[in-house]
Amino acid sequence: MAIKYISIPEKKATIAVLHETEWAAVDKIKSVLDGTKSLWFDPTKYRMKSSYKATVICRDGDEYSEERGREEAKKKLMRNYYRSLDKKIDEFIEDINTAMYRVVARCPERKEN
């Protein structure tokens, strides 16, 4: 996933685009579950958007700088991307907590060996 930039000097705008993000949360979850013996999950449930885009535009009176535009667009883009990633990871954590609660509630007579 590499950020691509589009500069539009006549509009004093810079656009940052991050592609191939659809499975990012799934990949993180899978890396954790690969270390377990039996946990499985539905990867389609945790899919993200396939790409993220952020646009920054200079305010009136500000001088356009392509370098500064790229910096600000990247910040905005990554903030949006990580917000979405965190939301999907939080959904997974909630699902795991629900599953743990159900297992414990259904097995009250577990024996200690």
| Longest Cα–Cα distance in the chain | 74
36 and 94 Cβ atoms separated by less than 8 Å: no
60 and 16 Cβ atoms separated by less than 8 Å: no
Per-residue confidence in pLDDT tens, the chain, 113 aa:
799 999 999 999 999 999 999 999 999 888 888 777 767 778 888 999 999 999 999 988 889 999 999 999 999 999 999 999 999 999 999 988 888 887 777 766 655 55
Radius of gyration of the chain (CA): 21
Q: Which tokens sit at 12?
A: 């004093």
This prediction has a pTM of 0.79
